Chain A
Amino acid sequence: MHKSVLIWAAVMGAVLLAGCSSHKPRPTTSTAGTSVPADQSQTSGADTSGAYGAAIANGSGEGVAGPSAGQLKNRTVYFDFDSSEIRSDYTSLIAAHARYLASNASIRVRIEGNTDERGSREYNIGLGERRAQAVRRALLLQGVAESQITTVSYGEERPAVTGHTEEAWSRNRRAEIVYLN
């Protein structure tokens, strides 16, 4: 048995410092080859120790937008293990969102695909993208314009619930319809 006790005080210190500054977006350092608008990228400069540079990457918060009448308040589509097929119990939910979006052309949504925690992370990004695309295609087929929909796959990185049981996994295998305005 070995007794090394490694203290994370340095880490915690950095967290606290960064926590203070993260609320205040700093000007972006100009960087070659960057294609992101300056107002989206919040990057801190080097820390005072000079040994390492710390960056802070906190995106802006998003309010809860979108319709809440009837089925429209339900925005999560769950999937079976290793499947991106939309189950029959979600067809009417997707149809309701499709009708709403098709008749409100200025409204935009982001479809977020997610997986459970099993398997490798980047491959799960691929599986989550398949789920997001399955919902996107269903919406497009029902008259929603391409310009109204973006997709993102979080793979297993943004679970809805923490846990390592079949119950937790089934709640994490999902696509979420997020209204952006």
Chain B
Amino acid sequence: MPARAELQVNVTQGVTDPIPIAIVPFARAVPADGGLDLAGVVQHDLESSGRFRAMQRRDMLSTPTRAAEVQSADWKAAGNDYVLVGRVTAPTGSEIDVECDLLNTLTGQRIGGKRFVATGASLRNAAHMVSDFVYESILGVRGAFATRIAYIAVQGQAPTQHFQLIVADSDGESPKVILESNQPIMSPAWSPDDQWLAYVSFENRLSGVYIQRVRTGERRLVSQRVGVNGAPAFSPDGTRLALTLSGSGGNLDIWLLELSTQALTRLTDDPAVDTEPSWSPDGKSIYFTSDRAGGPQIYKLDIANPRRVQRISFGSGYDARPRVSPDGTKLAVVTREGGNYRIAVQDLASGTVSVLSRGSLDESPSFAPNGATIIYAGREGSVGTLQTVSVDGQVTQRLTSSQGELREPAWEPFQR
């Protein structure tokens, strides 16, 4: 019998004053809801953000499921600022309705409500959408619970390892293996419409950049030229890939690949290593790593005039692997502090750098689509884990797996 592998979410550090909220168990639609405790998923989402503290169910004296049934004063007296109630109904055989109401106990007013139509298979996602609604209603920031993460899992000891590319919900649930190989897989990157993942696979004992449709498994080899094929990054309009090619001479530079025509355009031409491109949200520039000045540093080029290269990082002797925040105002990078590799955020307007992580081998930062959180790969002892940190550094979380080493998380963009 295979060992049961588990992925666990732990809040390792939260805000000092989380918002108190009562998430009342929703009215159930048995058996159409498949036994899913929808309010439990919402509670887990909100608590794992570190911004909320949920009332214990055993302390609840009533279980209203509609706004009209909520006695606000009682919930306020129990210490809650907000109450969420809801119900799951199955009006037809295949369709499941999820409705919820959010109330402010201080005013006694209903703040708002939502209705989602789901199926049995998408009910968990509907729960994440309820979480997004609550998060945005209270904090004024779009929630990212109903998004997914892609990451690499590696099993086995060197030199014989097994590699998987996995897509899971943002809370680590419902992991699906979308590619596996006995050769390395690396650098997963989402397309802006979230339908495709680009990645590097060494399955032919050569590096190749592939794109794969997540839903169907259909995939295309888009670059297997002589030398390095790496670091794919979809342009914000989804029509092009920035990637790293080296040719036979081994000089890594950044190129643009037009996906419909396979036309290649060179962006950098420097004898140094130029790699790890990340697009600005307007598609006009690319941030990248280069060691043209000695150690790796972050640079920026204009697509319209790629010879115009500007150095962005001036901090430690090692700054690499930039990722631009969804609003284009910040960069997440890997920086070296003493002998440790950590995640830092650089504010692009002021140049201010904040080191957010405290590990020794932290790498591969990726912004949540709402820009509030960064997920990255770190280590717990000798095991590779995924960790998150809020951009203000206040809230940290850990996603650990008892099976395999987790690497290179890539957070899905918002669906448009």
Taking Cβ atoms with an 8 Å cutoff, the residues of A that contact B are 1-2, 4-12, 14-16, 18, 22, 29, 31-36, 40-47, 51-59, 62, 110, 117-123, 125-127, 129-130, 132-133, 136, 146, 150-155, 157-164, 172
Query: How many residues on B have C-beta within 8 angstroms of the other chain's C-beta atoms?
Result: 92
Residue with the greatest number of chain A CB neighbours at <10 A, chosen from B177, B181, B214: B177
Q: Which residue of A18, A34, A126 contacts B221 across the interface (Cβ within 8 Å)?
A: A34
For the complex formed, measure the closest distance between the CB of A58 and the CB atoms of chain B, giving whole angstroms.
5
Q: How far is the CA of A100 from the CA of B219 in the complex (A)?
A: 41
**A120-B203 contact given A2-B44, A54-B217, A158-B159, CB 8 Å threshold:** no
Q: How far is the CA of A155 from the CA of B201 in the complex (A)?
A: 13
For the complex formed, measure the closest distance between the CB of B303 and the CB atoms of chain A, giving whole angstroms.
20
Q: How far is the CA of A46 from the CA of B401 in the complex (A)?
A: 26
What are the residues of chain B within 8 A of A32 when measuring CB–CB? 220
Q: Which of B110-118, B130-138, B204-212, B348-356 sits within the interface?
A: B204-212
For the complex formed, measure the closest distance between the CB of A51 and the CB atoms of chain B, giving whole angstroms.
7
Q: B215, A117: Cβ atoms under 8 Å?
A: no
Q: Which of B8-16, B76-84, B90-98 sits within the interface?
A: B8-16
| B282 part of interface (Cβ distance < 8 Å) | no
Q: B159, A117: Cβ atoms under 8 Å?
A: no
Q: A59, B205: Cβ atoms under 8 Å?
A: yes
Q: B8, A53: Cβ atoms under 8 Å?
A: no
**A54-B176 contact given A126-B273, A158-B158, CB 8 Å threshold:** yes
| B364 part of interface (Cβ distance < 8 Å) | yes
Q: How far is the CA of A110 from the CA of B202 in the complex (A)?
A: 14
Q: How far is the CA of A161 from the CA of B220 in the complex (A)?
A: 32
**A157-B172 contact given A2-B47, A119-B318, A119-B341, CB 8 Å threshold:** no
Residue with the greatest number of chain B CB neighbours at <10 A, chosen from A33, A34, A157, A164: A157
| B338 part of interface (Cβ distance < 8 Å) | no
Taking Cβ atoms with an 8 Å cutoff, the residues of B that contact A are 2, 4-11, 44, 47-48, 121, 153, 157-159, 161, 164, 166-167, 171-187, 201-208, 212-222, 224, 226-228, 230-231, 244, 246, 248-250, 252, 259, 262, 273, 275-276, 289, 291, 296, 318, 320-321, 334, 336, 341, 361, 363-364, 379, 382, 401, 403, 407-408
Q: How far is the CA of A44 from the CA of B181 in the complex (A)?
A: 12
Q: How far is the CA of A116 from the CA of B391 in the complex (A)?
A: 29
What are the residues of chain B within 8 A of A161 when measuring CB–CB? 158-159
Closest residue of chain B to A1, judged by CB? B10
What are the residues of chain A within 8 A of B205 when measuring CB–CB? 59, 62, 110, 152
Q: How far is the CA of A43 from the CA of B220 in the complex (A)?
A: 10
Residue with the greatest number of chain A CB neighbours at <10 A, chosen from B157, B176, B244, B259: B176
Q: A126, B252: Cβ atoms under 8 Å?
A: yes
Q: A8, B175: Cβ atoms under 8 Å?
A: yes
For the complex formed, measure the closest distance between the CB of B36 and the CB atoms of chain A, giving whole angstroms.
13
Closest residue of chain A to B334, judged by CB? A120
Q: Which residue of A62, A126, A160 contacts B275 across the interface (Cβ within 8 Å)?
A: A126
Q: A8, B401: Cβ atoms under 8 Å?
A: yes
**A121-B11 contact given A56-B180, A58-B181, CB 8 Å threshold:** no
What are the residues of chain A within 8 A of B403 when measuring CB–CB? 8, 12
Q: Which residue of A44, A127, A154 contacts B217 across the interface (Cβ within 8 Å)?
A: A44
Q: A52, B176: Cβ atoms under 8 Å?
A: yes
Q: A6, B167: Cβ atoms under 8 Å?
A: no
Q: How far is the CA of A162 from the CA of B404 in the complex (A)?
A: 13
Q: A35, B184: Cβ atoms under 8 Å?
A: no
